[in-house]
Amino acid sequence: MDIKMYIRNAGALTCGHCGNKGFMKILAGYNERDMETEKSPCGYLVKEVTQPWGVAYELALCLSCEEVTLTKINWHDDCAPEDYTYTILYPQPKC
């Protein structure tokens, strides 16, 4: 298997525990892409197409502190990964 399937450069991602940026081991991932229905002006179904955007979730292990971070990623086919919106869901930010 290709190592890129398990470890990727997560430069846009930051460990929610220690703040480290860099390589993380991806433990699990989920990607969602919805269908969109296109209709004619008179309301007839023309076709269903996949939307060029979606949401993904990644559970990554920090190779520095060995803690996990859950990240939500809003993506679009026309954007590069560094332009996606990344939100750390776990751990919660400290107040």
E-strand stretches of the chain: 7-14, 21-32, 35-39, 45-50, 53-62, 68-76, 85-90
Lowest pLDDT segment from 4-13, 23-32, 73-82: 4-13
Percentage, residues of the chain above pLDDT 70: 79
Give the span between the Cα atoms of 34 and 53, in whole angstroms.
8
What is the pLDDT at residue 92? 86
Q: Residue 12's pLDDT band (boundaries 50, 70, 90)?
A: low
Q: What pTM was estimated for this model as a whole?
A: 0.69
For 33-71, the pLDDT digits (tens) are: 777 677 767 777 677 777 788 888 989 898 889 999 998
Give the span between the Cα atoms of 10 and 62, in whole angstroms.
10
Cβ(94)–Cβ(19) below 8 Å: no
For 52-62, the pLDDT digits (tens) are: 888 889 898 98
Per-domain residue ranges for the chain? 3-90
What is the pLDDT at residue 3? 33
82 has pLDDT over 80? no
